[in-house]
Amino acid sequence: MKTMGLALLVLTFALPLWAQAPEPSPSPAPEMMTYYFVMLVRGPGWTGKSDPDLMKQHLAHLRSMWAAGKMVVAGPLLDEGNTRGLCVYKVGSLEEARALASGDPAVQAGRLAVEVHPWMVQKGILP
């Protein structure tokens, strides 16, 4: 009986403390990083016909940006929509991303045009 009384006494004092337990603090917001999302869209000179020499130049341009550490990923879209390819750049500014994308021989030839958007991604998700 003494044990039961002692347990009730402890619960009487502990219950208000338990009921007032602080809420866990929210986890800090993840650190974010800005990348540049580039959409290669049909340009004014789009014909839909293959140009092997221009394609070689286009691919060489993409490879050189990758080798320089400025491009994370790039690739074509396989449907027949207006957007023909996507790239993600890791550079210092929107202007730099736009300049790199505009330097593509297919863009300079008018076959493609570019849309460039700053894109926030959680740090560590992409290289």
- Count of structural domains, the chain: 1
Looking at 2-124, which runs of residues are DSSP E strands? 32-42, 71-76, 83-89, 112-122
Beta bridge partners of 88: 37, 73
Mean pLDDT of the chain: 87
Looking at the chain, which runs of residues are DSSP E strands? 32-42, 71-76, 83-89, 112-122
Supply the CATH number for residue 65's domain: 3.30.70.1060
123 CB-near residues (< 8 Å, 6+ apart): 30, 31, 32, 33
Asked whether the predicted pLDDT for residue 66 surpasses 60, the reply is yes
Backbone phi, psi, residue 84, to 5°: -100, -25
Rg of the chain (C-alpha set): 28
Asked whether the predicted pLDDT for residue 59 surpasses 90, the reply is yes
In a domain, 101, yes or no: yes
Give tens-digit pLDDT for 85-96.
Answer: 999 999 999 999
Band the pLDDT of 22: cuts 50, 70, 90. low
In a domain, 11, yes or no: no
Band the pLDDT of 83: cuts 50, 70, 90. very high
Which amino acid is residue 58, in one-letter code? H
Which domain, by its residues, includes 106? 32-122
